[in-house]
Structures are given as structure tokens and as C-alpha cells.
A and B are shown apart, each in its own frame.
Chain A
Amino acid sequence: MAYAVGDFGGFSGGETSLDGGRVVHVFWLSGMSCDGCSVAMLGAISPSVEDLTLGTIPGVPRVVLHHSMLDEDCGAGFMEAFRQAAEGTLEAPYVVVVEGSVPDDQSFGGPGHFAAMGSGSDWPQSKGSAAYGEQPLRATDWMWALAPGAAACIAIGTCATWGGIPAAAGNITGSMGLTDYLGPSYRSARGLPVVNVPGCPPIGDNFTETLKDLLGYFEGSRALPEFDELGRPVWQFGETVHRHCPKAGYYEEGVFSHEPGDNQCLVEIGCWGPVVQCNIVERGAINHMGGCMVAGGACIGCTMPGFPDKFSPFYKAPPGSAISGGVSKVTGGAIRRLRRMSMANANTEPLWDNAHEIPTAWSRAADITHPVRKINSFFYKKLQYAGSVNHAKRNKKQPLPQSRDILRQKGVDMEASVPVLQEHLISREEL
């Protein structure tokens, strides 16, 4: 029996996901948001929002996106589909996406809202009549009305996932994350607790990729994506950002930035990367470009449930770094020096070792015949070739190429020519 996969839209894949095929509605609800997650979503490319809404990905149903920043219609026309979804008359599966913290405005004794969308006449009557006539409907009304019937409920961004900045100390709105609001009993119509894609802003691709893979799962074309114990996509948030940080090597060698703008590890100017789960340094902010520490920005923990209060004051070194950074300065400092010795050896072509010179005007007389260097090289090679062969050594008797230094042989006197451009002989800081 030949291996067969279903639902990728081939000869036997049934309906394709292009127009006329299956669709999934996505309802975008904004609580106390800043639109930053929507803006991040628009920047995604793998997949892009238009890949999803045009249904260009085989095996993934076309997305009908109901988003107030993008929708063609507005007012009652825009709200109609929200009402139908809550009434159960949409006749297509739907996903709910929540952006922004969830305010505690359900607790008001009378009308009033911290975040609103639509008004009384838009309300699904099957959920009871609208509490305050034609008054604005709270975003929190839509959240409880739509979440249970959704195939999945995705919280995008740190506000909707954990509470974020609107839930910071001192605010009066009683903000919380969607998981807190819906409570521990919540499961979607397909049995999923709230899926959390954090970040402030999140990486757009982290969200679109998660949505796409969930839709592929619902369609039967792929396995359920893996989520961690807080509902985060494991492949995105399973590692600390420090592990993949381009500056992590500086930490390992005990070299730290002293002030913003320095190129080394940023821990001492307030980077929390070693204890923060995030993938921005490997994925980039968009199209594998940028990323906080890649660009020189210290991690302030914006993907984490503790953000912002457990990471502030910003620009102050995390307490733990006093120990780990101190240890790294001692051990890493020693390792760095040893590595630089090995690197000096790696930076010479064997031909130059044999000729006892580095034949370029770029080089300022690196003394490759220095006795310390020779001794170091001797022991290094002993270890390197133990149990193997030093092929280069066996060929050491090979004569130097005869046409080396051809200009001198031909009598072209470069000493009389222009001097070496001094500007280019800049001294590099020690690595």
C-alpha cells in the first residue's frame, strides 16, 4: 500500500482551500490593545496575512478575517458575522483572536466600558438580551460569547496572554490576560485551552505560523502543533533568547557592554535574555532581520508573564547577573585568552609559517616567529593530531612557490609607489 496524505488539495484531497472551498472565519477582538499585535501580524511573511486571506496555502482553509483595522464594511454590517458566530448560525468554523488585555469592566454595576465594539442591536439574542440597550457592547462581552464556540481561541501579544502593561501595578482597569478571564475550565470547541503567542509586540510570523498550523490541524493536513504548559508554541518559546543570542558568545568569554551602544553582551546594562523565553534573535523581528539584541537592545522580558513589573526598572542589571556575570568574567576571561592564541595560529596560512612572514602590507609585522607562539603551537598541534596524522608537517619540506613575491622578481619597486593608505591601518580592538 502506498503512502497517502490527505487534504493537501491534490487529486484525492477533496476540495481545495481556494475560493469555493472550505473557509474558516477569524474574529479579531481587541481589548485594551495598542494595535501593535495587528501591526506585527501585517508584517509577517511566513505566512503573510494575504497568504491566509487569499487561501494560497494548500492544506490550509482560506481565512475570512473579521478585523476592524482591515475590514471593508463597518458598523452593523461588520458586526453581523460576530453576531452569527455567537448565535451558532455562521455555518463555518471560526477562530477567535484576542489582542490587548482584558479589562475588568464586566464588574461595573451599570453601563460603561474600557474597551467597546458594536452596540446593543448587534448582540446575539440567544446569549440573553444586551444588558444596557443601545449602549456600546464591551469587548469582554464578545470574548465570553464567542470563545466557547470557537475551534480555537488565540491570545496574541503579552497583554492578551498574560495581562501585559495594562495589568501593571497601579492601573485602575483591573486588567488581566484572556486565560484569567475565561478561567481554568475553558476549552475551545476542538478541546484546546487558550493558545498563547506572547511578545510586546509579538513577532508577526510567530502568530501567523501558529494560526496556519492550527488551521492545518483542523483541516487534517498536519499534527496538532506542540504547546507548553502555558499554551505557548513550544518550537517558538521553548528556548531562552540568550541561547541563540549573537551576543551570547561575549557572555561566555566574560566580555560585557558598559553602556548602550557597546557591542558586547548586554546583561550589565539590563538584559534579561538568559531567563526569557523568546525566539526573536534567531527569527528576527521580520524576515530574519532585526531582533532586540541583534540590534543592540537589551531584553526587557516582554514575552514573559512577569512583564513589565518583574523586569523593571529597565536598564538596571538583573540581580542574578552579579553571580553569573562575575563567574563568566573569571572563567570566560581565561578561555577568551586561550582562544585568541589558538586563533592567531588559525589566522596564518601554513605557507606563511614556512616562509616565516605574513606577506601583506595590511599586516603590521605580526611576529609569527615569536618563541611563545612557537611553543604554544607545538603543544597545540601535539594535542590536535594525537591519534591522527599531521599531514601538513609531513609536507613541510615542500619548497616555497617560486613565483612568490612576483613584483619584486620583476623589478617593480612598490616602495617608490604610493605609500600604504594609513587610514586603512586602523587598529582593531582586541577581540
Chain B
Amino acid sequence: MTTQTSRPGPDGYNESTATGAAARNLRFDPVTRVSGDLAVHASADFGGSRRVGDAVAMATTFRGYEIICAGRDARDAVFISSRACGVCGDAHSICSALALEMACGIQPPPMGIVARNFLSATECLTDHPGHLFLRAGPDYSEPVVRHTSPELWTRAEATPAAGAAVHRFARVSDIMTALTRNRGRLYREALHMSRVAREANVVIGGKYPHPQTITPGGVSSTVDTTDFNLVLLRATKFLDYSRRVVAVWDDLTSYFYEADGRFAAVGEGPKNFLDLGLWDDPLSYDGRFANAASWGENRWSTPGAIVDGVLQSTDPRQIDAGVEEFVEHSFYENWSGESRSSDLHGNPLSQRHPSNKRTLPQPGSTDPGGRYSWSTAARWQGHPMETGAQARMWATALAAQQPHGSFVESTGRSLRMSMPKAQMPATLLEWQIPQRWNAFERNRARAYALAQATLAAYENVVIGLDLARRGGPNARIFNPYKIPKDGVTGAGYWGGARGYVSHHVQLADRVIENYQIVGPSTFSGSPRDGAGRPGPCEAAVMATPLVSSDPSQHGIDVLRAIRSFDLCMYCATH
């Protein structure tokens, strides 16, 4: 193992002065530009093979949200569990409300559902630009490309950008300049647009990132005509913006593929995806476990478990029932004791299923061969699964059953999105399921997911206006409820901007007995499981060839692979 010291280099970038041979340990501790605290250690050969060897991904923070929830009044669950993640507080509070609704037999009215959809969609509109331009984007920016692969920069200066008519950057190098941290136009525009989305969000949610209006039975928002106008006019700003973002990432992806075919292997991984769907149909969702297949499949974004590119199920109950959490390499004791062996539908549940889990933290020494992460290793039917906006795109495109045909059409091979006119004319954006699955395709899928979320936000405002126009009970925003005294259990199946979120609640005497949270990065950012299978991010790092010349051995391609997952380690570990 060589030691790495660093001194400030040009562009504020630190020159690594790796002593010793081409083989060295990359210690990204911390990995910056991800959400939450993540460290990745990997061995890399910058000499002959230019391959990465072993890699471990470590979640380095634990808070105790599941432990805090236990023993509290059931009414506290939404506001407490929301705080598990400050990037997707809307996702966690809605998911918590869904879990309580299932447990207590509560059905929110359509307008309440539409309001939640809108909060959830605008959260995506804040978060996707954040990933694409604040976190991942700088890895493709002028200073970083010049520094890590001068040959790519020279080439970019001579490469016209195919989407110039849409995004207004003549050459690929202009896009890279615009991606520059702090100063670049795309960087600053992303900050601005994420604020536009938040403005829309807080009109309904009160504040961001932790909303103050989500409750079982709907929302407590008071929405008047001005509010409808404020949110509509902000959601529609994303019609043009998402067209431009898609064009930018299409051009970047093509550029890297053409510059060197080996970039298609950066961050490459199996086509295993898990998502619980997002945005409920206001007339389908009723909070009942028995009807979950139907309301799940009627979501804008279809739930799906995909293994090796093949769709296994779109029933959120089957998706959830297949989940297990392993702690052999995590800082927890294994739990035992009473557990449910099947759900109400008869799907078998493992002792490792989240609803059977108990959170037993056991902090200690970090050992890459032993315990090294605060994240559990979540698996689906034994498979490491990828989650996120990309999983949402995959499941919705493959299933070809999403019912909301006004703007989005699922073809089984692609997702066709009809973008209404704004300043730019109406256009069709089509995301095609890619042949190879790698870092570039993850980012590209997320760019298209921005368009999908834009349409979900827009259509839900339109539906909200229509419900208000028709009036009656469907225009109510909240239905009163009672928490039963008996012991009840429920699960929330939902998603954040980063995908898969489930909450599992067990109540006795109106008090929370057990509360468990599974976030998207509990899958994507997980450590090895008991069988030694690496988590998806770990596997993608190990699959990454060191394509860029990277004279200072920074490991840029490895970082591109890591960041393409848009990990949130606070969702991963609670």
C-alpha cells in the first residue's frame, strides 16, 4: 500500500503525489458530492491493467431514527421519520403517512393524493438538477476534464454539440465549461431551477426539505387560487428546462462513447432494478394492502423488480416481500426473536425482512474484511439491486402499463414523453432502454427522469384544478381518521427522487412498537451481504476500467462510477 499526500494544484485541484508503483489504494474518505457520509476504498492499478481490484463502500454515519420512533405516539411518526433524510423529506413523510394509512385503514381524498404527488414531483425537480449539475456534473466539467484527461478536452473543443439548437452550446467543450463548479452556467442554472421547484413545493408543503403538511388521511395544506397559480407557473418552467437538460446529457454521453469505447464499461453493472413506483392515481389509491397491486400499478411510475433486464413483478407487495437486510458487514447485531413468516397476502417473509427487523447498533472498529458500514445490505430475492430515478425509468418503460397517457407512454422498450409547448415548441422525448448499463446511462436516465417528474408535477396541478372545478368530496384535501387501539401493522411503498422508499410500522395501543425504514441507497450503496456479494456501487467500482489518462491518479473514472448512483447515505442508514 502506498501513502498519498497532496498539495494544492492548479484549478484548486489537489495534485496527488503517489509514491511508489502504479498499483495503489484509492481512499475516497470521504467521497464528496454525494448526499450523506460515504467513504470508498479501492485498490487500483494505474499501470498495465488499468483495472480496479477490491472495493468497499462505507456508510459512516448512524443517527438512530428507527430507535427514536419506537415507543412514541403513532401521530409522531410522520414528522420524526421525515428527518431521516433532509434531501427527500417529502418522500419519507409521505411514505410514513402511507404506512399509517395501511395500518389504520385510512383513505385520503383524491385532492390530498394529488397534493402529495405534487410535493413528491417537485422534490424530484429540486433533486435531479442537484445530482446532474452540483454532484455528478463537475466530474465532466472543463477543469476536471482538462486535469484528468487533457486529450478529451482537446477533442471536445473540436466536437460540435448535436443538441445545440436546444441547449445553446455550440461545442461539447462549451457544455463542459458550463458544468464548472460554482462558475459554470449549467451549475448556476441548476441552483436557480432547484429553487424554483422549492418555491412551488413550499406553497403546498410549508417548508423544504421537511414538509409540515403531510398527515395520514391527506395533507393539511390550505390551497387557494393564488397557490394553484404559483405552483402551475413554476412547474411549467421545467418544460423547457428538462428539454435542455436531456439534450446536454445526451451530448455528453455520446461524446464519451465516441471518444473511447471503453467508457461504456465505467460503472458497468447488471440490469437489476427495484422500485416501488411513485405518484398515486387519485381515484385508485385507497391505502388497502389487499388492493396494493391495483393502486400500485396505476401509479404514474410503475413499481417493478427487474433482474438481468427482465421484469419479475409490478406488485408492490411482492417487491416488498422479496426484500431482506443483512448485517454481517454492518455495525449491527443480528436480530432474532418473533417474526412474521408471511404477509397478509400470503407472500412468504424472511426473518431478514424489514418488517421483522430490529435495529441493534454495535459501533466498533472499521474492517473492510469484517464490519465496515452503517448501512445494512439490502437484497431482493438474494440479488443486489440498483435503485433510483433510473430504476423508475426502467420499470415504467418495461412494464408498459402506466395508465396516465396524456403525456407519457410506456412502450415496453422506451418511455415516450410528450412535452407541451412552453417557450420552446411541443416535442417528444423518448428514453430508450439502453443496451449497456453504466455510469453515463445512469446520468442520462436521470436527465430523462427530470422530464418525467416535470410532467407528473404539471399533470397533477391540472388534475387538482379539475378536482377543484368539480367540487364535492373529491376536492377535500383531508379525511379524518382514528388510530385503533389494537395492534396493527402497515407498510408505506413509495419513492424519493432517488427511488425506493419503504416504511414499516407496527402499532400497539396507539404507540409505535417497531419502525423500520428502507431507503434507495440501502440497496445501491450497500456493503457486502452474508454471502459476500458486493453492493451495486461496490460492484460498479470494481468493474470500472481506468480509461482517462488521469496523470495524477485521481481516480476520476471510479468517482464517475460512484457518483452516477446518486447515493444518499442518510437514506441508506438511519
Contact = CB atoms under 8 A, between A and B. Distances in A.
Interface of A: 30, 32-40, 42-43, 45, 48-50, 53-54, 68-80, 100-101, 105, 108, 110-119, 121-122, 132, 135-136, 139, 164-166, 168-173, 175, 200-201, 203, 259-263, 266, 269, 280, 284-287, 289-300, 302, 308, 312-316
A61 B545 CA distance: 42
A120 B310 CA distance: 45
Contacts of B85: 34-36
A112 B80 contact: no
A139 B60 CA distance: 10
Residue among B183, B188, B199 facing the most chain A CB atoms (10 A cut-off): B199
Given A75-B27, A297-B212, A111 B86 contact: no
Nearest to A289: B199
B30 interface: yes
B32 A296 contact: no
6 contacts: A34-B570, A36-B89, A38-B86, A75-B30, A297-B206, A314-B79
B3 A121 contact: yes
Contact of A50 (B138, B188, B198): B188
B217 A295 contact: no
Given A42-B194, A74-B559, A166-B63, 5 more contacts: A34-B84, A42-B191, A80-B7, A290-B202, A291-B206
Interface residues of B, number: 98
Contacts of A118: 29-30
A260 B219 contact: yes
The 10 closest A-B pairs by CB, nearest first: A36-B86, A290-B202, A297-B212, A77-B14, A260-B220, A313-B73, A34-B86, A112-B363, A296-B222, A295-B206
A119 B29 contact: yes
B199 A287 contact: yes
B212 A69 contact: no
A285 B12 CA distance: 34
B63 A70 contact: no
A72 B86 contact: no
Given A70-B134, A259-B480, A314 B570 contact: no
Interface residues of chain A: helix, strand, loop or mixed (majority):
loop
Contact of B221 (A77, A112, A269, A295): A295
A200 B31 CA distance: 25
B36 A35 contact: yes
Nearest to B60: A116
Given A43-B198, A73-B32, A295 B203 contact: yes
A39 B204 CA distance: 18
A136 B39 contact: yes
Contacts of B476: 261
B213 A297 contact: yes
Residue among A40, A111, A165, A269 facing the most chain B CB atoms (10 A cut-off): A165
Interface stretch (B64-72, B457-465, B530-538): B64-72
Contact of A166 (B58, B68, B363, B478): B68
Interface in B179-228: 181-183, 188, 191, 194-195, 198-199, 201-213, 215, 217-223
B135 interface: yes
Nearest to B35: A35
B13 A72 contact: yes
Contacts of B182: 50, 53-54
Given A43-B198, A259-B478, A168 B207 contact: no
B325 interface: no
Nearest to B64: A171
B35 A269 contact: no
B312 interface: no
A114 B363 contact: yes
Contacts of B201: 290
Contacts of B206: 285, 290-297
Given A118-B30, A136-B29, A76 B6 contact: yes
Residue among B7, B30, B331 facing the most chain A CB atoms (10 A cut-off): B30
A292 B205 CA distance: 8
Contacts of A280: 207
B190 to A, nearest CB: 10
A291 B559 CA distance: 38
B378 to A, nearest CB: 19
Nearest to A45: B195
Contacts of B361: 172
Given A43-B194, A74-B559, A111-B365, A261 B222 contact: yes
Contact of B61 (A30, A168, A266, A285): A30
Residue among B68, B181, B365 facing the most chain A CB atoms (10 A cut-off): B68
B480 to A, nearest CB: 6
Contact of B64 (A37, A132, A172, A298): A172
Contact of B207 (A30, A48, A50, A290): A290
A35 B35 CA distance: 7
Nearest to A199: B207
B37 interface: yes
Residue among A101, A173, A175, A263 facing the most chain B CB atoms (10 A cut-off): A173
Contacts of A38: 86
A318 B458 CA distance: 38
A99 to B, nearest CB: 9
A419 to B, nearest CB: 21
A165 B321 CA distance: 30
B87 interface: yes
Residue among B62, B138, B221 facing the most chain A CB atoms (10 A cut-off): B62
A24 B331 CA distance: 38
Given A113-B363, A165-B80, A289 B203 contact: yes
A74 B31 contact: yes
A38 B212 CA distance: 18
B32 A166 contact: no
A136 B60 contact: yes
B223 to A, nearest CB: 8
B36 A295 contact: no
B92 to A, nearest CB: 9
Given A135-B365, A261-B221, A315-B75, A74 B28 contact: yes
Contacts of B76: 308, 312-314
B83 interface: yes
A110 B365 contact: yes
Contacts of A116: 37, 39, 60-61
A287 B568 CA distance: 26
Contact of A290 (B3, B188, B205): B205
B5 interface: yes
Contacts of B63: 32, 34, 100-101, 114, 166, 173
A33 to B, nearest CB: 7
A116 B37 CA distance: 8
B254 interface: no
Residue among A73, A74, A78, A168 facing the most chain B CB atoms (10 A cut-off): A74
Nearest to B359: A172
Residue among A111, A164, A203, A297 facing the most chain B CB atoms (10 A cut-off): A297
A50 to B, nearest CB: 6
A376 to B, nearest CB: 31
A100 B86 CA distance: 11
A165 to B, nearest CB: 5
B199 A261 contact: no
Nearest to B134: A70
